[in-house]
Structure 1
């Protein structure tokens, strides 16, 4: 009976405090299995990078590829943090030094060709001669990918094709899925030839996996808390599949791990410690009020977007903006979020609805928020600029907006997913990519002060 070991990580999001012990563990396990003539693969299921991390931001993710190389990964797929938080040129450069296969089958060039750094599937020939086929897909965000110059395709259609192709060459098929648990369940129902689906994106934790038909689903949470370990027992047919999660907090500390993580932080800080402009005054932040900083950012957002008015939350600002020289590091600490701006064309009734929702949502300012790209603490006060309700009318730049008349409204992409303003999810919108909020502020600061 052949035993195949597959170790997997997912949704690390550049949380690297436990990385030294994770790397050491993976290296030790590979050496152990090789000594015992057992096959071993190490894979990552996407969102390894997160540009809210200074080390990652300073290198546009390339530092993460070095880490994966050091841990001897065999294959990765991309998550949305690789796919839509990097400009196309940066993503095309991300894996130039990779010593592993990058597998994703639903991301294409506009002409339909797969990127030069990726492949739709890969077949690994193990020492025993058994062939292990690996397919992979990433979550489709067409508004983002299309804007960035990519073509993102339906993952289920492309996976069906890749599975059929890999099946001609491989004895066993596994899938690296950055699609989320619900999609993994659907995939398991549709594709009976897949032995294992390694899950991610929704940060779900499946301690011992979840069976759907003959397919075992895995999920290892987020932030490097767990390493997944799956085992396939094979003797010409798959006889048994099992999976477990290793809690990295229980692994023995790696000697010098704190120094290593601190050195990464210092390296990133040094690269970002470059002056971008010099202010003539101090700009304070406030989470529960308007502030000098929110006014300045509103000017930046309106200037960059060309919109008539804007709204955003005060909780995006994590620091004040000091008087004097301001560096890229200062701006990153202030606005670490991988959040983009976007524009809507809204009419009088739609603006009225937004104002009504804000007025009713008394609990929003102190609500703690995780996800949607937000890397702060609380939502903070919802701030509106250049539009208001007065005497029963909606005023934009102090002019009454007539029924049916539309204006351009700038906001943050975190408000387009339906959680805060449900109606915005279905409305046409234009994402302003690839710039993050910090880039928008930097561009305006350079224009304003230099």
Structure 2
């Protein structure tokens, strides 16, 4: 019996809702067309749909994002590192309470070895003509960070091998939803030739017409909703089973926009703004910022991170600060100023390594670098600011009032993004790193402002 199935996939939307109205309209219309023809449709999200840089996501702690997926009738989703690591444990536990789709996350566990009630290792779907489709999923292996939040993880490739072995006994077609990145997807295909499709994300790669890896077809749709992935499956279920998959991408900017798109996007923003109107503090005087000059707000944040991490000194980039503050400061104001899902971090460096970090931080090419990623949602790196790091006229550097000693070990408070990126190599390669989760830098700033400006 001949059969055609249609699979749509999104990944790494990161709460970029500017494209969502087009995606929403497109997927609903395509589902209606296929179902009218008697053909089965599956829609999957491959993680990082939630990103707390957007006020709607921040105000609803991601539950609003889940409602958006519900509206389009997604079949299943997996979690990315943004769902898994930027939400406190209790928030992730509740995130999918009202989900009308399956949540697949084979390598996420509770500390006692059991699985979260909302996360399944795999799911088997049966088409209208009786073909069985086994779907499993795994997310990026940031085990030390998950442990800090109260979760446990298994190594994803090993976990997927276990799930695929099980699915081989039960399913005609096997699909992996992989928030692991392109290199791991190719490794999965190489070691598991029985897998038909790997729908990937995390590294924001784009496969315009898929990519063959052995017997497996890889699909990936970039980031921020720039594309919607599509897999067409042609099957013949007997007497000899035949299956063929073809991949393509739809460029979202070319899709038809619904007439109310601008209002819809604005409504999401306004919903978040209303939910974040709680007053944090009332300032007696305005606080300013600059990305290229010394200014108040970056200095306050740097000192706050120094205190929070109980360090010898601290350094951050002023590009973190995206707006000034004055008068009544609400949670919305802090979110607008510091939208980044970035956590404080403390690293252990020798004095020689710290000197190298400072030299690199003072490089104007770095301070003027424009980038986004690693949690940073700003525009440019900005001038580095310091606390308990002082430059003297004779080129001596003082750390906590004492000349920097190349042989001494220092505890340096900074941002987790510098431990993941290539900007400051001694921090990325530090022998000891302590991450402070689940608090973001905006939570630390709130703590500091309340301490400085608390009502008498």
Q: Give me the TM-score of the superposition, normalised by structure 1.
A: 0.96
Aligned residue number for residue 290 of structure 1: 294
Q: Which runs of 5+ in 2 are unaligned?
A: none
Aligned-partner SS, 2:281: strand
Quote the RMSD (CA, aligned, Å).
1.4
Aligned residue number for residue 304 of structure 2: 300
Distance 1:378 1:403 in 2: 31
Aligned residue number for residue 248 of structure 1: 252
Q: CA deviation at 1:342?
A: 0.3
Q: In structure 2, which of residues 370, 374, 380 is the aligned counterpart of residue 368 of structure 1?
A: 370
Bigger shift: residues 423-432 or 286-295: 423-432
Aligned residue number for residue 413 of structure 1: 416
Aligned residue number for residue 357 of structure 2: 354
Question: Is contact 1:308-1:396 (8 Å) kept?
Answer: yes
Are 2:283 and 1:279 equivalent residues in the alignment? yes
Are 2:339 and 1:336 equivalent residues in the alignment? yes
Aligned-partner SS, 2:196: strand
Distance 1:403 1:208 in 2: 53
Distance 2:447 2:70 in 1: 35
1:449 and 1:113, CA in 2 relative to 1: closer, same or farther beyond 3 A?
Answer: same
Question: Is contact 1:304-1:444 (8 Å) kept?
Answer: no
Distance 1:239 1:214 in 2: 11
Q: CA deviation at 1:345?
A: 2.2
The one-character-per-residue Cα deviations of 1:41-99 (angstroms, maximum 9, x if unpaired) are 01100010110001111000000000000100010001111010001110001000001
Distance 1:93 1:180 in 2: 26
Question: Is contact 1:311-1:410 (8 Å) kept?
Answer: yes
Aligned residue number for residue 70 of structure 2: 69
Q: CA deviation at 1:303?
A: 2.0
Question: Is contact 2:302-2:385 (8 Å) kept?
Answer: no
Are 2:134 and 1:133 equivalent residues in the alignment? yes
The one-character-per-residue Cα deviations of 1:75-131 (angstroms, maximum 9, x if unpaired) are 000111101000111000100000110001111111221111101111111111111
Aligned residue number for residue 90 of structure 1: 91
1:24-423 to 2 correspondences below 5 Å: 24-236=25-237, 237-322=241-326, 324-359=327-362, 361-388=363-390, 394-402=397-405, 404-423=407-426
Distance 2:349 2:270 in 1: 45
Aligned-partner SS, 2:293: coil
Q: CA deviation at 1:282?
A: 1.5
Q: Give me the TM-score of the superposition, normalised by structure 2.
A: 0.95
Distance 1:238 1:71 in 2: 30
Q: CA deviation at 1:308?
A: 1.9
Question: Is contact 1:143-1:431 (8 Å) kept?
Answer: no
Q: Which runs of 5+ in 1 are unaligned?
A: none
Q: CA deviation at 1:388?
A: 4.1
Q: CA deviation at 1:145?
A: 0.8
1:214 and 1:387, CA in 2 relative to 1: closer, same or farther beyond 3 A?
Answer: same
Aligned residue number for residue 5 of structure 1: 6
